[in-house]
Chains A and B, each alone.
Chain A
């Protein structure tokens, strides 16, 4: 292998047709509101954690829709669940339950089995 001093840069292009989404479907089953987002950004603008971090619920939802679940953890881990986003959401999305559901559906995929009825 020759070192040319440069190399191929990975494509920044989103390829969403390859998004195989059983996880997103599971999330949608738990919290159907996830489909209602109109990306207005009210949640992000009012976010208590957003004062200090890059937390953006709008972005989290979009990332999940685009199959980029790896990008959500750095944001969601800062959430204090204060619920301001739920108060400001014009579509009435149950944001807190959405966040809690994301925590159960996504996340480092090792770990425990869900309590089954």
Chain B
């Protein structure tokens, strides 16, 4: 009988790591608090930089779960150290005794309503990146009457100490540009603005996407952070920012505003960290033994990380790290003698 490994969090990192662990001869026990596996990826429509369908990445993973015991709608009630093992009790009453736990607890999208000045939850026409993704997925962008101008606000809840997140969420810039292009493809007549502080097009082909947004779609980029949003008598939005390249304040009437909510540490992560006594970073993400050399190994025996639980990452980075974590677990289990 093969050895069990508990994987907490059934997003791309958890699923991928489970598959790799199974391939290495272990029995992963994958725990997901939501009713379905897939995490944020299950909600997303298309992925940067080429616009492949999120489904085309996730579906093959979900069709390959043989040999993985997974529990959805399930949370971890407690984790206790017993000699060199961890005893994991689940909310469904089951428990497992394992030598290794993988924390792939992911991230939560920044709660846009925290940026009160942007009026999310107050103005109907202010939506989030995830909601726009829902609309793309449903195949229909809701038609506010006469949408002529829309805006994307970068760095909502990212690089913002006042919002409690100093870190850059890394993927929102390119997501905004991707969504802007998609929007223009569906509605070429609409004028699209992106309000950015810096455009962090770090990945391969990201810059190409940016160029495409400028050249082919005429997306207008305004360097300046949106300061406040208000509503006029017809329900249009008034957006204020500084055009920092121009050196003047700027005000623009918009028909819709998309907030690029960043990545914040997942709600449940601190509790899990407490259960296995590992430290949390100042930024709320988990801290690996070495952020450079051992990004998926916790400073505690038998605890491993994968994906965005240790900070914002792209899907390919997450999948790569999931495989690395599986190998690290395998090495750990093989090198520590089993009693």
Instruction: Assess A/B contact in the complex (Cβ within 8 A).
Output: yes
Would A66 and B246 count as touching, CB distance under 8 A?
yes
A36 within 8 A of B: yes
**How many chain B residues touch A (Cβ–Cβ < 8 Å)?**
18
Docked-complex contact B243 and A14, CB < 8 angstroms: yes
Does any Cβ of B come within 8 Å of A113's Cβ? no
The contact of A16 among B199, B215, B250, by CB within 8 Å, is: B250
Interfacial chain B residues near A65, Cβ < 8 Å: 220
Q: With A and B bound together, what is the CA distance between A91 and B201 in angstroms?
A: 15
A12 touches B215 (CB 8 A): no
B149 and A36 contact, CB distance less than 8 A:
no
A62 to B245, CA, bound (A): 8
Q: Which residues of A contact B246 (CB under 8 A)?
A: 14, 62-63, 66
Is B284's beta carbon under 8 Å from chain A? Answer: no
Q: Which residues of A contact B215 (CB under 8 A)?
A: 32, 35-36
Check A15 for interface membership: any CB of B closer than 8 A: yes
CB of B223 within 8 A of CB of A39, answer: yes
**A97 vs B80: C-alpha distance when bound (angstroms):** 71
Which residues of chain A are near B220, meaning CB under 8 Å? 65
Q: Which residues of B contact A28 (CB under 8 A)?
A: 218
Are B249 and A13 interface neighbours, CB within 8 A? yes
| Chain B residue with Cβ nearest A66 | B246
A3 within 8 A of B: no
- How far apart are A59's CB and chain B's nearest CB, in angstroms? 8
Size of A's binding interface in residues, CB under 8 A: 19
B166 within 8 A of A: no
Q: Are B214 and A39 in contact (CB under 8 A)?
A: no
Option from A12, A13, A36 in Cβ contact (under 8 Å) with B211: A36
**Beta-carbon contact of A13 and B248 below 8 Å:** yes
A-contact 0/1 string along B228-270, CB 8 Å cutoff: 0000000000000001011011111110000000000000000
- A12, A16, A91 pick with most chain B CB within 10 angstroms: A16
Task: Say whether, besides A35-B214, A35-B215, A66 and B243 are in contact (CB < 8 Å).
Answer: yes
Bound-state CA distance A5–B187 (Å) is 51
Report Cα–Cα, A58/B211, bound state, in Å. Answer: 17
Q: Please name all residues of chain A whose beta carbon is closer than 8 Å to the beta carbon of B251 when the two chains form the complex.
A: 13-15
A114 contacts chain B at the CB level, 8 A cutoff: no
A14 with B214: CB separation less than 8 A: no
Spell out B's residues near A (CB within 8 Å). 149, 199, 211, 214-215, 218, 220, 223, 243, 245-246, 248-254
Chain A contacts to B: CB under 8 angstroms: 12-17, 28, 32, 35-39, 58, 62-63, 65-66, 91
Selected A-B contacts with CB under 8 Å, 8 pairs: A14-B250, A16-B250, A16-B252, A17-B149, A35-B215, A36-B215, A58-B245, A63-B246
